[in-house]
Amino acid sequence: MADLMFRAVDELAGMVRSGEISARELVQDSLARIDELNPDINAFVDVFADEALAEADDVDPGDERPYAGVPIAIKNNRAIAGRRLTMAAEFMGDFVPGHDDNVVRRLRAAGFIVVGTTTLPEWGILPVTDTRRFGTTRNPYDPERTPGGSSGGSAAAVASGMVPVAHANDGGGSTRIPAACTGLVGLKPQRGRISLAPVGGGEFLAQDGVLTRTTAETAALLDVLAGYEPGDPAWAPPPAEPFATAAGREPGRLRIAVTTSSPVDAAVPDDDAKRSVRETADLLSGLGHEVVEADPPWGQTGVLELFTASFGPLVSLTVAFAELVNGREMRADETEALSWAIYRLCRDTISSVDAAGALVRLQGFARLVIGWMGPYDALVTPALAEAPVTHGTIDPQSADPMAAFARSGTFTPYTAVFNVTGQPAITVPLLERADGVATPLSVQLVGKPAQEGALLALAAQLETARPWAHRRPAVVTA
């Protein structure tokens, strides 16, 4: 059973339920791998070994909870009662919330055992996980490269087999980007699908989710996490059937648009990014779909600036929470240069009227893109414009922090658009890179609004045609 942490979560839960293995043995295996690998990969902020083992001892064979005894990690930007919530920021200190966020509560109710919390860039801003407070998180496929961000710690933990699944969230690609960097499946669900209760609600960009190895696991866990919570200001319409059921169906013959055109003017997709779309298009055609080359109407001047004008206030709200916790304003020496620059931009330059105006314009942009997708069942784009960047390429402590922020946009130009439109999007690791970089090569699939089931069915069809879950990174095969 040396590969336990690489098995599907449903299989692991079934083993515990049948008595083939105990929950304690599963958790012990996870903790042993964390002890072995985390010193080099640096995926965890905190590990809850004693508590996780004690919780595992309370799980008996026959436990009817769907994932009783299965280890999971939570990104350290969601509250766990009695555990520190840092946002990877020095200014947050060691704040300890008194509640579980909705995603944590739902995962625990399903039987998952939280073994620890994972790293992220400070305040969740960048698509790389490299912080002043906790250091650099490394990609298990190539330690000199990033595992992505902002859910980089969760991605590194799952890809290396420290846990079989981990929580993630996505405000501009922060689930899909690390999935693409580490060969995992990363779904950003429809806006409003997963409640941000009890603290958040109505955020325009952010959505929670998970990082897994297979489409089936992602679909099943969406069923666990999805749904209304009392007080939600808005929520996605419930699906006609469970997402796991929809993902198990053949998608039928679809009309699918493909593009490599970039939403960010300065971003130029490399040869592998272009090949990912070309080969996916060929595979889809071979599966019987109608594939059409078509460029969405997103090459508009100022879209990146508008996104910043909405993303920046989202970051500032998090900082404002930290200021409330600390009882004072944050100082420049208590945060990274990039975080301070964005915070100052929002505080001193972007007025509330500017932010509201940017939101209105982004909503108009979203309607344009979604309207353009009307004739198509799905859209295929590159997941990333280039290979996962080496450490230091995007530096949160740069002397020119906004240049570093712009550089992140040329690395990951294809994801944030769909936080703006709100529609579901998923990255899947279909291919291998041809440029000598060891990381898998992913592609992004985008679905119609509130149609995660159809999107997951398409991803599952691609996975069946070209499986990927068998891959192992260098830290495992060495």
Inter-residue contact 428 to 467 (CB < 8 Å): no
**AA identity, residue 78:** R
Between CA 162 and CA 53 the distance in angstroms is 15
> Catalytic residue among 30, 75, 151, 448, which?
75
Q: In Å, how far from its chain's centre is CA 436?
A: 25
Which residues have CB under 8 Å from 133's CB, separation 6+?
Answer: 86, 88, 89, 90, 122
Between CA 436 and CA 476 the distance in angstroms is 19
Q: Which residues, listed in sequence order, are joined to residue 130 by a DSSP beta bridge?
A: 136
CA angle 61, 66, 67 (to 5 degrees): 75
Instruction: Tell me whether the omega of the peptide bond preceding residue 351 falls within 30 degrees of 0, making it cis.
Output: no
SS (H, E, C) 200-252: CCCCCCCEEEEEECCHHHHHHHHHHHCECCCCCCCCCCCCCCCHHHHHCCCCC
Answer yes or no: 150 catalytic: yes
Answer yes or no: 160 catalytic: no
> Catalytic residue among 30, 151, 174, 310, which?
174
- Phi first, then psi, for residue 6 (nearest 5°) are -100, 5
Answer yes or no: 195 catalytic: no
In 21-158, beta strands by DSSP E? 44-47, 71-75, 113-118, 130-131, 135-136
Q: Which residues are catalytic?
A: 75, 150, 174
